[in-house]
Amino acid sequence: MSGHFFDSKTVTTRKPHRCHGCGRTMPPGTTMLVCEGIGDCEHYRAYWCETCLEFEPQWTGDNNEIPEGGFRDEMPEEWEACRKVVEDAKETDQ
Ligand SMILES: [Zn+2]
């Protein structure tokens, strides 16, 4: 996740936020990456969950045009496999 983003930082959310990659609304207390950037004509802010960050290198579409929820809608099997690795690993940690 770099290049076209204007700025990004990792936060622990204090409010529910919808992940741009998978379209899930993540509860408060989730670690997410916040990206702010300049699009063609507007400033935008997008939230990404850890699963989607891990999945992003596998995305075969255009990185500049990821539709909201597109990771899970368009590559559900690959995304789900990635989610298991990221989120199940976390559960064992805790
Ligand atoms: Zn996500």
The DSSP annotation for 25-92 comes to EEPTT-EEEEEEEE-SS-EEEEEEEHHHHHHGGG--S-GGGPPTTHHHHHSHHHHHHHHIIIIIHHHH
pTM for the full model? 0.82
pLDDT of residue 90: 76
pLDDT at 79: 98
Q: What's the pLDDT at 93? A: 60
Kindly state the percentage of the chain with pLDDT values over 70: 87
Spatial CB neighbours of 6, under 8 Å, sequence gap ≥ 6: 35, 36, 37, 38
The alpha carbon of 41 and the centre of ligand 1 are apart by a number of angstroms equal to 25
Beta-carbon neighbour count of residue 12 at 10 Å?
9
Phi/psi of residue 10, nearest 5 degrees: -90, 135
State in Å: Cα 15 to ligand 1 middle: 16
Q: Residue 2's pLDDT is what?
A: 42
- Which structural domains are found in the chain, ordered by start? 7-93 (3.30.1740)
pLDDT at 94: 58
The answer to whether the beta carbons of residues 4 and 49 sit under 8 Å apart is no
